Structure 1
């Protein structure tokens, strides 16, 4: 019954998509948004059911890829347009910033699309941490009063309650740490090229290869629809997982773009700049399936699996997304090329890497407190608000939007370094756990067996 009700939420969008019926922006946003909601529940059930037959980390990795697939599609579209329009680092550097912003010529429009690809990617990554990680941490602690989530630790002091994460997440955090360090160097090349693609995509492939060799852990917390499907025999259980993944993935992939595009047009019609909408509103819409899925898991007192999904999403966006848009760009260009971006987008990449660096410093001891979550959110939202105010000339500040990004980058890095210095033993423990996971996957004995406890 629950599955039937949830599938019914997507029927309206299926009808519109199949028949090609066009509605107004508000109606499209409503119908596609409801479909995304239903598909997110189906996706969560599919991932939980899959844990019966595959390692939990792999099931969550698949969930994360499907949940953020619309983000890949949006970025790929802009990267394709940039390549098809002939945008290169050399050609774009010969145009003025004003010409590119105004899309004065086809080439200027292509250079503008290249910048939009970066803006959309960095916006999605910062939303995932600034709203996703922070919001889910607060939601987990708040729901613990009813769910009795054992991962929530009550502590004395103002906003000291924290979500304790499973140490099995050390592998994901370590891989994300490597991707984050690499990202700091990306702007120095003036674009995203072959070395970025090889390193970042290779990193994600290595991660997937590692988690596939992990042990299958049967959860004792599975309830409701996933528990019902887990009781099915072979081959029906894997088939229902594939059906849930396939249907929910198709719904999310087809419905989120119209959902995001409708919101964009509503915003632009109300005087909000296009660039701001594409960097913040569209990614917020495309990240919504992931946040809904994690909220469903948290509501079942499965906060560890929820944070696993969030970190896995950040990892695949910070590796696969960056690496593959350069490939899409080169295909559209008709040969190898470096996806160009201007100095402003270089600063966007730096602040995104810095935010990730700070967030990892928070998680290095396998917990996030309400105080830390609030800090993540405040830093994120204050920068967005100040940037919007600067763009709309609502306030007079002695710095430009570009300088604002660099200032926040420095702030994130400074706080992150201070936390890592304070938690250096936790960082050593984290890398020890990740190293042991790699050795175990290769059939070797762990160097620090005490870390497994």
Structure 2
């Protein structure tokens, strides 16, 4: 991966990325009173993952010209997903717990309790994971796989449309900018909210590349290897907008569920649209350079990377199946992530640990006779009638 940026550019790109993250987060908070919160977060996730798409597109294009670089495309995809779940989810919990104590909330180990509508995001992770079992089995990704993954994402958006917007009475809890935009009323309200999304998205678009290049230049000066740059440093930097908005919401304690769903929505985006982009960009690049469209192939090493990532996300689904996220969940997810980060050679052992934890949790649910809330709430969302006049 080429890093032609200047480390000094970080002096302007870093604050620009911060501002863009604030703008789109304010837009999402105001939008949840016009459309469902899940749909607002899906829009937010699209804007926030612009840097991720830019990085993945460059890597996939280079791999199409030189197939020996294909492993970097999988490394970036899996690194981005595992980083968001293994570091992002726990970060939200610990910020939530720490902020709660500072505000005088009772001591102990509180859990983040999800709302019924969040079952759509939790279960929305499942279909792409099931389809990725097929992809892992055949060790290729073609344009057909891309179409199926995008279709799964569209289906997820359709289900989100069934959730109603939040009550306008809750607007008083939103930041002042979000309140201002919503209280304009009529067409001006929609233009203001759309303007927040557009301004933040545009700033993200123009800042993403120089921001990544400047930060990668800093990492390069420190002697970081290319694989570490691609699998961990680049995803960490490209996920910066998500982490900023999630951190802001987690600090407000009551908005911690929204922060967690921001991350989950981005995970769904990664497993579907971001993954679908790889065979399309790779195939077109290969066609441009050789005259032949080719599917994207990956070897046994990348297959193991995908299995590890799939098991981690599957564990995330099971952990949230009862619509709660507690200190043990956050700590264990972080510990398993940090182990694979510090000791990459233990990937198989970590994969086994993820699988065993999934089995233990599922057996525990059966033994205690506890019904999983997320599937039930998801089914209720599918079968309910949309409220009259909902956006």
8 Å CA contact 1:50, 1:241 repeated in 2: yes
Question: Residue 350 of structure 1 is aligned with which of 303, 307, 313?
Answer: 307
Task: Assess, with a 3 A threshold, how the Cα gap between structure 1 residues 268 and 222 changes in structure 2: closer, same or farther.
Answer: closer
Q: Which residue of 2 aligns with 1:395?
A: none
| In structure 2, distance between residues paired with 1:318 and 1:427 | 27
* 2:342 paired with 1:385: yes
Q: 1:361-397: per-residue Cα shift (whole Å, max 9, x none)?
A: 211111111122111111101111112xxxxxxxxxx
Q: Whose relative contact order is higher, 1 or 2, with alpha carbons under 8 Å and at least 6 apart?
A: 2
| In structure 2, distance between residues paired with 1:154 and 1:364 | 25
Q: Which residue of 2 aligns with 1:57?
A: 38
| In structure 1, distance between residues paired with 2:107 and 2:125 | 28
| In structure 1, distance between residues paired with 2:324 and 2:336 | 19
Q: Which residue of 2 aligns with 1:433?
A: 377
Long gaps (5+) in structure 1? 1-22, 86-109, 388-400, 444-453
* 2:276 paired with 1:323: yes
Q: Which residue of 1 aligns with 2:298?
A: 341
SS, match of residue 384 in structure 2: helix
Count of matched residue positions in the alignment of Structure 1 and Structure 2: 374
Long gaps (5+) in structure 2? none
* Alpha-carbon distance, 1:262 to partner: 2.5
SS, match of residue 186 in structure 2: coil
| In structure 1, distance between residues paired with 2:377 and 2:144 | 28
Q: Which residue of 1 aligns with 2:258?
A: 305
* Alpha-carbon distance, 1:354 to partner: 1.0
Q: Which residue of 2 aligns with 1:259?
A: 211
Q: Which has the larger radius of gyration?
A: 1
| In structure 2, distance between residues paired with 1:164 and 1:130 | 19
* Alpha-carbon distance, 1:154 to partner: 5.9
Q: Which residue of 2 aligns with 1:293?
A: 245
Question: Residue 184 of structure 1 is aligned with which of 126, 133, 140?
Answer: 133
Two-structure CA RMSD over aligned residues (Å): 2.2
* Alpha-carbon distance, 1:126 to partner: 0.5
| In structure 2, distance between residues paired with 1:68 and 1:207 | 17
8 Å CA contact 2:322, 2:372 repeated in 1: no
| In structure 2, distance between residues paired with 1:218 and 1:27 | 45
Q: Which residue of 1 aligns with 2:321?
A: 364
Task: Assess, with a 3 A threshold, how the Cα gap between structure 1 residues 281 and 436 changes in structure 2: closer, same or farther.
Answer: same
8 Å CA contact 2:51, 2:209 repeated in 1: yes
* Alpha-carbon distance, 1:230 to partner: 0.9
| In structure 2, distance between residues paired with 1:172 and 1:154 | 30
Q: 1:283-328: per-residue Cα shift (whole Å, max 9, x none)?
A: 0001110010111222333112111211111111111111122222
Question: Residue 246 of structure 1 is aligned with which of 198, 201, 207?
Answer: 198
Q: Which residue of 1 aligns with 2:75?
A: 119
| In structure 2, distance between residues paired with 1:375 and 1:386 | 16
Q: Which residue of 1 aligns with 2:119?
A: 170
| In structure 2, distance between residues paired with 1:29 and 1:423 | 48
